[in-house]
């Protein structure tokens, strides 16, 4: 990622060979009569072993050739793991609640107080919606081969700049593609998809924030980096996608992913 300021040979006819009889032809023919059944038997054994090992699946699956299929497969796997995580968390909560201990009770009370600021509780209310997308295909494809295409593509720093501006504007909750953003969320671009917590999401990238719409909009418009992006969006020769609108009801679900840290302390 860079800043917006930028940064088959022809087939040959088969050779014809003149076969000449070799000495010991009878022995050679006998060898073939004996060897062929043996090869067939071994091949059949290998096929059976492969079928047993694969369990009916392809031992050498084809590569994904469609990004949308890859995103869908990764998302489904993530949803399955997230469902399993939810079940385990519920089991842990039940076991913890059954413990009669004053120290445990105090820690549980402290955890409950921190759930909302940590993004573990849902938020809703008026807010702002911003949509980022790559420039139209016809504009990108019209560029010369040696052209710098960075201005025509949404980069991770573009998304991060918008999110940071929203935090500065007092957002109480921010989502990207409907996924709650918390302190440990990593935003990473891979190809033409953004990866959040290891799950890829294709464009357009919809960023929503809960908060005072006017304060959020003012903070976004005052950000120098976002202003540079918006300039590229308004340039008819670039037209990278940009959209911003207020909404009376923005819903930010609670973060339900993996929390990879045990605790944190504020900097002095």
The parent domain of residue 187 ranges over 122-252
Which range is least confidently modeled, 24-33, 85-94, 226-235?
A: 24-33
Task: Confirm whether 37 is domain-assigned.
Answer: no
Distance CA 257, CA 81 (A): 9
Question: Both 137 and 240 in a single domain?
Answer: yes
Residue 103 scores a pLDDT above 60: yes
Query: What is the per-residue pLDDT across 221-237, written as a single tens digit (0 to 9) for each?
Result: 999 999 999 999 999 99
Work out the angle between the directed axes of helices 224-234 and 213-222 (0-180°, nearest 10).
Answer: 80
pTM: 0.61
Same domain, 100 and 180: no
Do residue 209 and residue 96 come from a single domain? Answer: no
| β pairing state of 205-210 and 123-133 | antiparallel
2 occurs within a structural domain: no
Specify if 268 maps to a domain.
Answer: no
CA-closest candidate to residue 128, choices 225, 255, 244, 253: 244
Does residue 27 sit within a domain?
Answer: no
More confident residue, 208 or 80: 208
Do 110 and 226 share a domain, yes or no? no
Our separate counts of H helices and E strands in the chain read 7, 8
* Residue 30 falls inside a structural domain: no
Residue 55 has pLDDT above 60, yes or no: no
Greatest Cα-to-Cα distance within the chain, rounded to the nearest angstrom: 96
Asked whether residue 89 falls in the same domain as residue 171, the answer is no
Residue 259 falls within a domain, yes or no? no
H helix runs in 176-239, sequence order: 213-222, 224-234
Confidence band, pLDDT 50/70/90 cuts, at residue 117: confident
What's 197's domain CATH number? 3.30.70.1880
Give pLDDT tens digits for 12-25: 444 333 334 444 44
- Residues 129 and 109 grouped into a single domain: no
Are 134 and 99 in a shared domain? no
The confidence score (pLDDT) of residue 18 equals: 39
Q: Flag whether 172 is in a domain.
A: yes
Both structure tokens of 175: 């989502």
Residue entry with tokens 């670039």: 238
Q: Answer with the one of 114, 140, 170 that is the final residue of a domain.
A: 114
Give me the pLDDT at residue 49, please. 53
Helix (H) or strand (E) run with residue 246 in it: strand 241-252
What is the pLDDT averaged over residues 43-56? 53
Mean pLDDT of 119-127: 94
Q: Please tell me whether residues 163 and 93 are part of one structural domain.
A: no
Domain identity same for 130 and 248:
yes
Give how many domains the chain has, as a whole number.
2
Beta strands 187-190 and 199-202, pairing class: unpaired
Indicate the range of 43-52, 94-103, 147-156 predicted with least confidence: 43-52
Cβ neighbours, 10 Å, residue 166: 28
User: What's residue 70's pLDDT?
Assistant: 66
Query: Does one domain contain both 149 and 244?
Result: yes
Residues 78 and 173 in one domain: no
Q: How many beta carbons lie within 10 A of that of residue 179, not counting itself?
A: 18
Residue 186 near residue 196, CB atoms below 8 Å: yes
Mean model confidence pLDDT for the chain: 77
Is residue 188 included in any domain, yes or no?
A: yes
d(CA 247, CA 212): 10
pLDDT in tens, 155-212: 999 999 999 999 999 999 999 999 999 988 888 887 778 888 778 888 899 999 999 9
Token pair of 71 as six digits: 């995103």
- The CA distances from residue 220 to 59, 196, 217, 252, in Å, are 51, 22, 5, 19
Residues 83 and 193 in one domain: no
Does the pLDDT at position 34 exceed 70? no
């Amino acid at each position: 990622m860079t800043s917006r300021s930028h940064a088959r040979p022809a087939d040959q006819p088969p050779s014809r060979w003149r076969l000449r009889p070799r000495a010991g032809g009878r022995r050679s023919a006998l060898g073939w009569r004996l060897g062929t059944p043996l090869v067939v038997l071994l091949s059949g054994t290998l096929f059976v072993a492969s079928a047993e090992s694969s369990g009916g699946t392809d031992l050498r699956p084809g590569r994904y050739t469609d990004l949308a299929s890859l995103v869908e497969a990764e998302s489904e796997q993530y949803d399955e793991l997230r469902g399993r995580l939810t079940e385990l968390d519920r089991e842990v909560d039940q076991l913890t609640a059954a413990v009669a201990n004053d120290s445990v009770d105090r820690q549980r009370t402290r955890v409950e107080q921190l759930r909302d600021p940590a993004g573990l509780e849902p938020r809703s209310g008026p807010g702002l919606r911003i949509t980022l997308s790559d420039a139209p295909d016809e504009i990108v494809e019209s560029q010369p081969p040696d052209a710098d295409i960075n201005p025509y593509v949404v980069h991770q720093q573009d998304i991060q700049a918008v999110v940071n501006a929203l935090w500065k504007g007092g957002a109480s909750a921010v989502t990207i593609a409907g996924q709650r953003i918390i302190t440990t969320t990593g935003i990473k671009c891979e190809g033409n998809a953004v990866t959040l917590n290891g799950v890829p999401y294709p464009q357009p990238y919809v960023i929503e924030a809960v908060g005072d719409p006017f304060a959020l909009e003012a903070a976004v418009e005052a950000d120098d980096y976002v202003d540079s992006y918006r300039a590229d969006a308004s340039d008819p020769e670039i037209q990278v996608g940009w959209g911003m609108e207020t909404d009376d009801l923005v819903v930010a679900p609670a973060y339900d992913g993996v929390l990879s840290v045990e605790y944190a302390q504020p900097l002095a």
